[in-house]
Amino acid sequence: MEREVQPSTNLAFSMRDMGYSLETALADIVDNALAAGATQISIFAPPQCPLILGVVDNGAGMRIEDIIKAFTLAAKSPEETRGKSDLGRFGLGMKTASWSQCRKVTLVSSFEGDLTAASMDLDSIKEKNRWSLDILSDEEIRKLPFLHHLSNDGTLLIWEKIDRLELDTEEKTRRLLSELLDSTRNHLRLVFHRFLSYEPGYQTVTIKINELPLEPLDPFFKSNPATQAAPIEQIEIAGKGLVIIEAFTLPHHKKVSAKEWEQMGRAEGHLRNQGFYLYRERRLILWGTWFKLRRQQELLKLARVKIDIPNTMDEDWQINIMKSSARPPRVIQERLKNLIDHLGAPSKRVYKHRGTSLIGDKPYIVWQQLKAQGNISYRIESTHPVIKRFKDGLPEKNKEQLNHVLEFIAAALPVDTLYSDLGSTPELVNVHMMDEDNIRFALQEILPTLKEIYIDKEEILAVLREIEPYRSNFGKVESIISEEDEIDNDR
């Protein structure tokens, strides 16, 4: 014997705690607007009334039967074939995203100028202990907030009783809302950056928060000439479509402004933003991960890999309801694993190129890199011209003492601090600046050695331009060398 079982009214309250934040909830609402063909989406969150929020779009309007369907849980099967513009899958996005933030949701739509609306109030559901949807009258619709922003065709979503933002005072609530809106702006700028930008074959979308348009935030900074792009690679999944992969290496922090570097790293920093960036129908799903195929590394922090998949691969990639997690199918995991070393190589080269000029086996390099038994350490080269000349002038008994001092300094190198600083704020890490007297002394000791190796003055300057402490003080170096050349010519 079979009996029909209705979902418990407790389900709505259970779904409130799925882990949405304000920014991810609003991203789901934007998904719905884009799926309806919207090109203009406006979010209104008036600071003077922080417990109400509206989202207006100019997408295809809905009739009352469509609104009822929109409030129905899982109205679409996740296995159903969807159009390319459909960014949903489970038929839960609008409900779960809204309930995660508020207790009352109203959906108003204009279809060919005719307005229809319905509301669902969790407090009413709890009181009646049954699912209920209130169909609003024309008079009730006319009293709704944000209604004047709705065009001839489009939809207005209203959140009321936003209890997740409610604090003990209005001032604290307003401050919290302001902070969350700032975070939401940055989140939407990143997640929908390809919709906000021009892409051939697609219409550009405008998204506003409190009338302020969002500028796209491209995580690959393709507009910067110092960004390196690898050739595009395609992997075909039988019956499902193409996985398109494109790798980028961001510029070294010395090649961009401090503001650009901060934008590239976002709040989490460059280390956490390395890895794969997964897009489903141009919408960014997941970023800053290697899908556990490798761990994050300092030398890979400039490597970012764009992966495009169609919405026909949702199940294969195990994309969850919130679009916050995914896992590559086994059929391409090995392929991605094999690609990682190759894709990350340019990022390593950006740093290693700058490092090789500072550490090596040439006689004018101060620090030497030692590799032994799988470990890497550094020591000061006692044969460096500056050190050697000083050592040669010491009494014999003091020469051994100097060797001990150099070993002590090398052993006291603050590796952990350097690693932490370079990982979090590399743009702030710089060498100690020397005054002109000290630079002059250092040049007097090293120039004879360089002249033995290089005949041409430009070659000598090229070497000094690449090694410290001369590189960071190169203006003084050029001035001193030019000054000495003039003295030599006068003689």
| CA distances (Å), origin 66, targets 45, 63, 159 | 26, 5, 19
Using only the alpha carbons of the chain, give its radius of gyration. Answer: 31
> pLDDT at residue 363 above 70?
no
Residue type, 185: R
Confidence at 462, pLDDT banded by 50, 70, 90: confident
Per-residue confidence (pLDDT) for residue 336, from 0 to 100: 85
Confidence at 83, pLDDT banded by 50, 70, 90: low
Per-residue confidence (pLDDT) for residue 75, from 0 to 100: 47
* pLDDT tens track for 48-78: 887 899 999 999 999 999 999 988 875 454 4
Identify the CA nearest to 414 among candidates 387, 378, 380. 378
Q: Nearest-5° angle of CA 368, CA 373, CA 375?
A: 50
* pLDDT tens track for 215-243: 999 999 999 999 999 889 998 888 888 99
* pLDDT tens track for 243-300: 999 999 999 887 888 888 888 888 888 888 999 999 999 999 999 999 988 888 877 8
> pLDDT at residue 151 above 70?
yes
* pLDDT tens track for 187-225: 999 999 999 999 999 999 999 999 999 999 999 999 999
Q: How far is CA 139 from the centre of its chain?
A: 46
Per-residue confidence (pLDDT) for residue 424, from 0 to 100: 63
3-state SS of the chain is CCCCCCCCCHHHHHHHHCCCCHHHHHHHHHHHHHHCCCCEEEEECCCCCCCEEEEEECCCCCCHHHHHHHCCCCCCCCCCCCCCCCCCCCCCHHHHHHHCCCCEEEEEEEECCEEEEEEEEHHHHHHHCCCCCEECCHHHHHCCCCHHHCCCCEEEEEEECCHHHCCCCHHHHHHHHHHHHHHHHHHHHHHCHHHHCCCCCCCCCEEEECCEECCCCCCCCCCCCCCEECCCEEEEECCCEEEEEEEEECCCHHHCCHHHHHHHHCCCCHHHHCEEEEEECCEEEEEEECCCCCCCCHHHCCEEEEEEECHHHCCCCCCCCCCCCCCCCHHHHHHHHHHHHHHHHHHHHHHHHHHHCCECCCCCCCEEEEEECCEEEEEECCCCHHHHHHHHCCCHHHHHHHHHHHHHHHHCCCHHHHHHHHHHCHHHCCCCCCCHHHHHHHHHHHHHHHHHHCCCHHHHHHHHCCCCCCCCCHHHHHHHHHHHHHHHHHC
Whole-number Å distance between alpha carbons of 38 and 41: 7
Q: Indicate if 228-343 has the same CATH topology as 10-213.
A: no
The answer to whether the CB of 52 falls within 8 A of the CB of 173 is no
What the block records as the tokens of 354 is: 């700058």
> pLDDT at residue 134 above 90?
yes
> pLDDT at residue 157 above 70?
yes
Per-residue confidence (pLDDT) for residue 488, from 0 to 100: 54
Residues 6 or more apart whose Cβ sits within 8 Å of residue 92: 15, 73, 74, 321
Residues 6 or more apart whose Cβ sits within 8 Å of residue 343: 230, 247, 303, 305
Average confidence score pLDDT of the chain: 83
Confidence at 185, pLDDT banded by 50, 70, 90: very high
What the block records as the tokens of 39 is: 């090109």
Domain residue spans of the chain: 10-213, 228-343, 357-418, 430-491
**CATH 3.30.70, domain 228-343, yes or no:** no
Number of other residues whose CB lies within 10 A of the CB of residue 63: 13
* pLDDT tens track for 84-105: 555 544 345 788 899 999 999 9
Per-residue confidence (pLDDT) for residue 360, from 0 to 100: 52
Neighbouring-strand partners of residue 44: 54
Confidence at 438, pLDDT banded by 50, 70, 90: confident
What the block records as the tokens of 233 is: 């690679």
Identify the CA nearest to 108 among candidates 45, 75, 46, 66. 66
Q: Nearest-5° angle of CA 199, CA 157, CA 58?
A: 40
CATH class of residue range 10-213: alpha beta
